[in-house]
A and B are shown apart, each in its own frame.
Chain A
């Protein structure tokens, strides 16, 4: 502004600036948002072509393949749904893998113990319930460490990673715990019109979690906290209570994952979730969430988990040495993050102009 005499009012109305609604930006943004589904489609096409060339057989249209991929995706996806909430809030939960193992061991023990006293179907439910509730305990501790004692999520959950690991192996006596319950085995291996029960349960659970993230205050506050915790605090959101509930929720997701693992293998194993933790983070990142917090969706994570499952199953299917899985998943993670960065740079440049 040039020098103004004291009484002169400022310009009454300045036209609002353009909304930056230009098509190029929204196209890039849309590709970035849907990148996990694009990856998934691309992978399915690749494996289809490969399978037809190598074996003259279809890959995608084979229901056995689809079932196997879906079953493959169940456990990492359950961990990843909880992880999605945590990552959107700007945190990370490294303890989920061993919370899942702990829950699997608890599910096996509790089902066996209850089976001695009550009918088998009820014993199965008691076992699942017990594992989910017990899984909540490390979640409470994580939440209190992070919200009250201001321990960084990375460190707090890393500590819990060790604690849950040790507790799970101690409870399992260093071995796997077989489940003696025919209903539990049926739950883990039965199908409903060709769809495995595990996949149905996971699908319903994922839809409930999508609702929680996208349609409730809890979900909305989660995004706000991930983007600007100061703003959320000033808006009157109970940050400490939210963070506590958040880590309990993610631990309970892992608990359900552990229970379903025990059902699938009719045994609880402390190391059930060990290789899945990083897959869960990878699924969230491939699904479009930013590790800086504030963005991500449950359905993106579903696509991310399916991408990983398709790579793992597909490479086995086409007879490639299994070690290539790690390379392929790693490359997808890196590409995914590069797309995220490119989109950020693009929208960032517009913001600063």
Chain B
């Protein structure tokens, strides 16, 4: 497989395994995500979803198998490396600093600086605010008070900020772990519509949820995990809730 393969999926996982001692948390698992595709990852608690996303996002090394980005095999020693390659994970507990503005959160750890009076390096808050406005606009999310700390915003809005940060840094693959859990119904819809935006921009999304309604509302395909193995893969248009539940529990 070489780098010029245009038809290769954005992300492909081949025969991935992760063993913790004798426990096979993930066993010979394969899946792929293409540009503009939302792949739902479903499975009961302990089925291996978290293990899988941690292996993909560089939190730990797989025991076996390989991860390919646009057809190129990659390994990540740290989550930082995965992020630099365009894989961003959005955790359900929202990795935001609540006391900082949207812009400051987008740029957290990589703040732009400017020179005040021609010599004194200071944070470029204007650039941060403008980038925040433009980025949130791309997500069809319009916010007037760019200087307000994100604690002033609702759960869905904050979820949008976390997604906005990934979009700003040009993440090609977003792994979203239960993004709609702990949100009210209108907020869930907002997040679902954000995922549609990401899809329209040609990014790949791995969407983890317990909520089949949400999975069916947003995904193109669903991959079901059961006890660390791939229990089935279906196109959303060709399956239904009952079949997915059967795959999950092993009917």
How many chain B residues have a CB neighbour from A under 8 Å? 54
B123 contacts A228, C-beta separation under 8 Å: no
Among A49-57, A216-224, A248-256, the one that faces the other chain is A216-224
Whether, in the assembled complex, B77 has its beta carbon less than 8 Å from a beta carbon of chain A, the answer is no
Contacts of A20 in B (CB 8 A): 152-153
The residue on A at minimum CB distance from B236 is: A6
Q: When A4-B217, A10-B193, A12-B193 are in contact, do A223 and B99 touch as well, CB less than 8 Å?
A: yes
A19 contacts B153, C-beta separation under 8 Å: yes
Q: Tell me the B180-218 residues at the A interface (CB within 8 Å).
A: 185-186, 188-190, 192-193, 196, 213-214, 216-218
Whether, in the assembled complex, A11 has its beta carbon less than 8 Å from a beta carbon of chain B, the answer is yes
> Closest approach, in angstroms, between the C-beta of B181 and any C-beta of chain A?
14
A295 contacts B143, C-beta separation under 8 Å: no
Q: When A16-B141, A235-B109 are in contact, do A227 and B216 touch as well, CB less than 8 Å?
A: no
Q: What sequence of 0s and 1s flags, for each residue 69-93 of chain A, a beta carbon within 8 Å of any chain B beta carbon?
A: 0000000000000000000000000
> Closest approach, in angstroms, between the C-beta of B13 and any C-beta of chain A?
22
Contacts of B216 in A (CB 8 A): 4, 6
Whether, in the assembled complex, A116 has its beta carbon less than 8 Å from a beta carbon of chain B, the answer is no
The residue on A at minimum CB distance from B156 is: A17
Whether, in the assembled complex, B92 has its beta carbon less than 8 Å from a beta carbon of chain A, the answer is no
Whether, in the assembled complex, B249 has its beta carbon less than 8 Å from a beta carbon of chain A, the answer is no
> Closest approach, in angstroms, between the C-beta of B124 and any C-beta of chain A?
10
A10 contacts B122, C-beta separation under 8 Å: no
A11 vs B240: C-alpha distance in the bound complex, in angstroms? Answer: 20
Whether, in the assembled complex, B239 has its beta carbon less than 8 Å from a beta carbon of chain A, the answer is yes
Select one of A1, A19, A235 contacting B189, CB under 8 A.
A1
A16 contacts B143, C-beta separation under 8 Å: yes
A12 vs B200: C-alpha distance in the bound complex, in angstroms? Answer: 12
A224 contacts B213, C-beta separation under 8 Å: no
Contacts of B239 in A (CB 8 A): 6
B193 contacts A237, C-beta separation under 8 Å: no
Q: Tell me the B69-103 residues at the A interface (CB within 8 Å).
A: 79-80, 83, 91, 93-100
Residue among A10, A215, A223 with max Cβ neighbours from chain B (10 Å): A10
Select one of B80, B152, B154, B217 contacting A10, CB under 8 A.
B217
Contacts of B94 in A (CB 8 A): 231
Contacts of A231 in B (CB 8 A): 94-97, 105, 108
B193 contacts A13, C-beta separation under 8 Å: yes
Number of chain A interface residues as a range: 35 or more
A232 contacts B144, C-beta separation under 8 Å: no
Whether, in the assembled complex, A273 has its beta carbon less than 8 Å from a beta carbon of chain B, the answer is no
Select one of A16, A235, A294 contacting B95, CB under 8 A.
A235
Whether, in the assembled complex, A119 has its beta carbon less than 8 Å from a beta carbon of chain B, the answer is no
Q: Tell me the A202-250 residues at the B interface (CB within 8 Å).
A: 211, 215-217, 220-221, 223-224, 226-228, 230-232, 234-237
A21 contacts B108, C-beta separation under 8 Å: no
Whether, in the assembled complex, A8 has its beta carbon less than 8 Å from a beta carbon of chain B, the answer is yes
B100 contacts A1, C-beta separation under 8 Å: no
A227 vs B99: C-alpha distance in the bound complex, in angstroms? Answer: 6
The residue on B at minimum CB distance from A226 is: B99
A216 contacts B123, C-beta separation under 8 Å: yes
The residue on B at minimum CB distance from A12 is: B193
A19 contacts B143, C-beta separation under 8 Å: yes
Whether, in the assembled complex, A27 has its beta carbon less than 8 Å from a beta carbon of chain B, the answer is no
A230 vs B216: C-alpha distance in the bound complex, in angstroms? Answer: 31
B189 contacts A10, C-beta separation under 8 Å: yes
A294 contacts B79, C-beta separation under 8 Å: no
> Closest approach, in angstroms, between the C-beta of A15 and any C-beta of chain B?
9
Whether, in the assembled complex, A117 has its beta carbon less than 8 Å from a beta carbon of chain B, the answer is no
Whether, in the assembled complex, B121 has its beta carbon less than 8 Å from a beta carbon of chain A, the answer is yes
> Closest approach, in angstroms, between the C-beta of A33 and any C-beta of chain B?
12
A13 contacts B140, C-beta separation under 8 Å: yes
A42 vs B62: C-alpha distance in the bound complex, in angstroms? Answer: 64
A10 vs B200: C-alpha distance in the bound complex, in angstroms? Answer: 14
Contacts of B98 in A (CB 8 A): 227-228, 294
A3 vs B108: C-alpha distance in the bound complex, in angstroms? Answer: 39
Q: When A10-B218, A220-B100, A347-B152 are in contact, do A3 and B95 touch as well, CB less than 8 Å?
A: no
Contacts of B6 in A (CB 8 A): none
Whether, in the assembled complex, B126 has its beta carbon less than 8 Å from a beta carbon of chain A, the answer is no
A215 vs B104: C-alpha distance in the bound complex, in angstroms? Answer: 12
* 25 residue pairs from A and B, CB less than 8 Å apart: A1-B185, A7-B237, A9-B218, A10-B189, A14-B189, A17-B157, A19-B144, A19-B148, A20-B153, A21-B144, A215-B116, A215-B123, A216-B121, A223-B97, A224-B97, A224-B100, A224-B104, A227-B98, A227-B100, A231-B95, A232-B108, A234-B79, A234-B95, A235-B95, A294-B97
Top 7 nearest A-B pairs by Cβ distance? Answer: A235-B109, A10-B192, A235-B108, A224-B97, A215-B122, A236-B109, A231-B95
State the A residues within 8 Å of B (CB). 1, 3-4, 6-14, 16-17, 19-21, 211, 215-217, 220-221, 223-224, 226-228, 230-232, 234-237, 294-295, 347, 350-351
> Besides the contacts A16-B142, A19-B148, A228-B97, what 5 more A-B pairs have beta carbons closer than 8 Å?
A11-B193, A217-B111, A227-B98, A230-B93, A231-B108
